[in-house]
C-alpha cells in the first residue's frame, strides 16, 4: 500500500497568512491573460448546429409522450395509490404529467381508479366523451378489469371496458404505484407507435 507523503499543516496565523499569500501570488502570475469569451458556438456553421432530421410523427409523438395530462377520476380505494403515485416518493412529474386536470377538456389520459357503479357509469362516459382526441384510458385495479371483489354485484360494472375503450389494464387490489407507473410507460410506448400524419391524411 502506498504511503501518503507527509502533509504540511499551518499551525499559526503567520503560517496561514504566508500560505494564503503563496496562493494569491501564484494566481496573480498564472492569470495575466484574458480568457476568451465562450462564444465559439456563435461561429459554428449554422446548418450543423441547428438542423435536426426527424419525422413529423416522431416530433408529435415525442411531445405527446412527455406532456400527458391525466384527468382526475378517482372512484374508490385504488385512487389512494394513484394519489400516492403523484406524490413526491414516486414523482409522476418525472414523466411530464404532474398536473391532474380537473377539466376533461384539458386532459388526454383518464386513469379510472376504483370501483365503478352503474350509477356512476354514465358520468364516466360523459367525461370520456368530453376529452379531446387523441385520448387514452387506463383501468386501475381488479375492479377496473372485471369488477374485482364486487363482480356479480347488482350495482358494480364488471369491467370499465363495458363503458369506454381501455388502453392498458393494471391488475391488483389495489395495484402499487410502481404498477401504475409501468402502465403509464406502456401507454407511452403505445403513443410512440402512433402515426399522427397518416391519420390526418387518411381522415
d(CA 26, CA 166): 69
d(CA 156, CA 60): 38
Nearer to ligand SF4, 101 or 176 (CB): 176
Could you say whether residue 143 binds ligand SF4 (CB under 6 A)?
yes
Q: Which residues pair with 54 in a beta bridge?
A: none
- Min. distance of Cβ 53 from ligand SF4 in angstroms? 46
Residues 110-139 touching ligand SF4, rule: CB under 6 A, are 114-115
Q: What is the CA radius of gyration of the chain?
A: 29
Nearer to ligand SF4, 61 or 146 (CB): 146
Nearer to ligand SF4, 128 or 169 (CB): 169
Could you say whether residue 142 binds ligand SF4 (CB under 6 A)?
yes
Could you say whether residue 146 binds ligand SF4 (CB under 6 A)?
no
Could you tell me which of 123, 101, 120, 98 has the C-alpha nearest to residue 110?
A: 101
Cβ-Cβ contacts under 8 Å for 200 (sequence gap 6 or more): none
Nearer to ligand SF4, 70 or 174 (CB): 174
Q: From the list 104, 141, 159, 177, which residue makes contact with ligand SF4 (rule: CB under 6 A)?
A: 141
Could you say whether residue 149 binds ligand SF4 (CB under 6 A)?
yes
Instruction: Beginning with the edge strand found earlier in the chain, give each strand of the sheet holding 109-113 in spatial order.
Output: 70-71, 109-113, 136-140, 168-170
Could you say whether residue 77 binds ligand SF4 (CB under 6 A)?
yes
Residues 181-200 touching ligand SF4, rule: CB under 6 A, are none
Other C-beta atoms closer than 10 Å to the C-beta of 52 total: 6
Nearest residue to ligand SF4 by CB is: 141
Q: Which stretch binds ligand SF4 (CB under 6 A): 26-34, 56-64, 72-80, 99-107?
A: 72-80
Q: Which stretch binds ligand SF4 (CB under 6 A): 12-20, 66-74, 75-83, 101-109?
A: 75-83
d(CA 197, CA 180): 30
d(CA 123, CA 163): 10
- Asked if 172 contacts 179 with a C-beta cutoff of 8 angstroms, the reply is yes
- Min. distance of Cβ 201 from ligand SF4 in angstroms? 41
Q: Which residues pair with 2 in a beta bridge?
A: none
Residues at the site binding ligand SF4, with contacts judged by CB under 6 A: 76-78, 114-115, 141-143, 148-149, 173-174
Amino acid at each position: 500500500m502506498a504511503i501518503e507523503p507527509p502533509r504540511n499543516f499551518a499551525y499559526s496565523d503567520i503560517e496561514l497568512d504566508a500560505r494564503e499569500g503563496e496562493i494569491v501570488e501564484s494566481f496573480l502570475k498564472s492569470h495575466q491573460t484574458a480568457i476568451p469569451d465562450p462564444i465559439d458556438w456563435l461561429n459554428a456553421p449554422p446548418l450543423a448546429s441547428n438542423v435536426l432530421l426527424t419525422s413529423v410523427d416522431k416530433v408529435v409523438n415525442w411531445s405527446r409522450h412527455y406532456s400527458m395530462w391525466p384527468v382526475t377520476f378517482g372512484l374508490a380505494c385504488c385512487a389512494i395509490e394513484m394519489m400516492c403515485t403523484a406524490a413526491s416518493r414516486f414523482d409522476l412529474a418525472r414523466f411530464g404529467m404532474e398536473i391532474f386536470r380537473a377539466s376533461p377538456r384539458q386532459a388526454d389520459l383518464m386513469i379510472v381508479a376504483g370501483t365503478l357503479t352503474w350509477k356512476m357509469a354514465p358520468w364516466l362516459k360523459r367525461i370520456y366523451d368530453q376529452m379531446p382526441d387523441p385520448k387514452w384510458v387506463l383501468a386501475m385495479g381488479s375492479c377496473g378489469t372485471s369488477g374485482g371483489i364486487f363482480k356479480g354485484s347488482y350495482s358494480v360494472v364488471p369491467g370499465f371496458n363495458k363503458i369506454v375503450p381501455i388502453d392498458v389494464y393494471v391488475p391488483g387490489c389495489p395495484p402499487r404505484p410502481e404498477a401504475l407507473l409501468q402502465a403509464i410507460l406502456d401507454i407511452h410506448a403505445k403513443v410512440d407507435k402512433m402515426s399522427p400524419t397518416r391519420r390526418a391524411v387518411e381522415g
